[in-house]
Amino acid sequence: MERSNLVYKRAGLQIDELIALGAEISEFCAENAAAIDHNGAFLIQEFALIAKAKLLLAPLQPKLGGLGLGFNADITHDLLLLLKQIGRGNLAVGRIFEGHVNALQLIQTFGTAEQIETYAGDVRDRHKIFGVWNAEAEDGVKLYPLADGRYRLEGAKTFCSGAGFVDRPFVNGKLPDGRWQMCVVPMEKVTTVGDPTWWQPSGMRATASFKVDFSGVELEAASLIGQPGDYLRQPWLTAGVARFAAVQLGGAEALFDETRKYLQTLNRTSDPYQQQRLGQMAIALESGNLWLQSASHQISTYAPIFGGSPTQS
């Protein structure tokens, strides 16, 4: 931790301070979760706090004003601890913040120098929220090259978390030859059709996870990130599981704490059957934490950059 703080102090951020701020934000998220868990709500106050605490720019490399969380492999465990804290407070917040981290990791790994600087400016100077909207059904997104060098999108994405609020989502799709191409859509510059009735979950409704139709949207070639197939390259794709696993583990820890408090109110913590259940839960949580530690170690020892450099096989 000390080494990381010395490295990143130049950016005006320190990892331990950032994680402490994340814990404070998590407490607010937990207190406000019930109030916003309804259709049509979004995490406006939560992401205002995240932006103010500089968590939005933390995934940027130090030279861009961030900490490199999600990009620099040696601080992967710090990132997972932060994601776990956010998930502990509200899984909806954790879901969208993890997507923001993922998107910036992809841009900094596969983007050109110009793209990286442009999108870093969107985060650093304009507090734009990024995301990865990759899920789709049979009417998924296709990219068609146009004669003027632009691309037209046709089709829809599903489970678009943060619809109406995420400013720069990845909306990846198939090229005419079937290859998968990453692209970022500047939502304020295009017209899309959202369907808020498509998914009706019993919880996490503040994620605003809608179906969004991008048919007719046109993009400049500069909106395409990397080469066809890069999104599916390993180990970036599989190693990213550790991020959302951390968010979900935070939610599981919160459930464990609430269960324990509930049993205390019933004066049943001495009941042997309840003790057995709590013990099994505690073992599962500890296993999850050990899994995150191991995943962090594997990523950090694999290469200095998360997943390694795409220019090296």
Q: What is the structure's pLDDT at 105?
A: 97
Decide yes or no: CATH 2.60.120.260 for domain 133-231.
no
DSSP element (H, E) containing 224? strand 224-225
Residue 223: pLDDT above 90?
A: yes
- pLDDT band at residue 310 under the 50/70/90 scheme: confident
Q: What is the structure's pLDDT at 12?
A: 55
Rounded Cα distance, 88 and 100, in Å: 18
Q: What is the structure's pLDDT at 1?
A: 34
**Cβ pair 110, 230 in contact under 8 A:** yes
What count of residues does the chain have?
313
**Cβ pair 228, 179 in contact under 8 A:** yes
> Nearest-CA neighbor of 212 among 173, 253, 266, 238?
173
What pLDDT digit, counting tens, does each position of 143-153 carry? 999 999 999 99
Label the pairing between strands 142-145 and 156-160. Answer: unpaired
Per the listing, tokens 């861009």 go with 64
Question: Token pair of 6, please?
Answer: 């010395």
What pLDDT digit, counting tens, does each position of 247-287 carry? 999 999 999 999 999 999 998 888 899 999 999 999 999 99
CB neighbour list of residue 98: distance below 8 Å, 6 or more residues apart: 83, 86, 243, 244, 246, 247
- By percentage, how much of the chain surpasses pLDDT 70? 95
Q: Where in the chain is the domain with CATH 1.10.540.10?
A: 1-129+233-313
Q: What is the structure's pLDDT at 313?
A: 56
**Cβ pair 299, 281 in contact under 8 A:** no
Residue 156: pLDDT above 90?
A: yes
Question: Mean pLDDT, to the nearest integer, of 29-57?
Answer: 91
CB count in 10 Å sphere of residue 310: 14
- pLDDT band at residue 15 under the 50/70/90 scheme: confident
- By percentage, how much of the chain surpasses pLDDT 90? 83
| DSSP result, 100-159 | HHHHHHHHHHHS-HHHHHHHHHHHHHH-PPEEE-----TT--EEEE-TTS-EEEESEEEE
Amino acid making up residue 40: G
Q: What is the structure's pLDDT at 10?
A: 37
Q: pTM of the full predicted structure? A: 0.92
**Cβ pair 109, 310 in contact under 8 A:** yes
What pLDDT digit, counting tens, does each position of 157-176 carry? 999 999 999 999 999 999 99
Domain 1-129+233-313 architecture: Orthogonal Bundle (1.10)
Q: What is the structure's pLDDT at 82?
A: 96
Per the prediction, the chain carries an average pLDDT of 91
Helix, strand or coil for residue 219? Answer: strand
> Nearest-CA neighbor of 243 among 123, 124, 77?
77
Q: What is the structure's pLDDT at 309?
A: 85
Residue 85: pLDDT above 80?
A: yes
Backbone angles phi, psi at 54, to 5 degrees: 70, 20
Sort residue 149 into left (φ over 0), alpha (ψ -120 to 50) or beta: left
**Cβ pair 128, 167 in contact under 8 A:** yes
Q: Where in the chain is the domain with CATH 2.40.110.10?
A: 133-231
Residue 5: pLDDT above 70?
A: no
Question: Token pair of 54, please?
Answer: 């500089």
Question: Mean pLDDT, to the nearest integer, of 170-186?
Answer: 96
Q: What is the structure's pLDDT at 8?
A: 39
Backbone angles phi, psi at 173, to 5 degrees: -155, 175
Beta-ladder partners of 152? 144, 218
CB count in 10 Å sphere of residue 52: 12
Of 3-17, 169-183, 221-235, 251-265, least confident by mean pLDDT is: 3-17
Q: What is the structure's pLDDT at 206?
A: 87
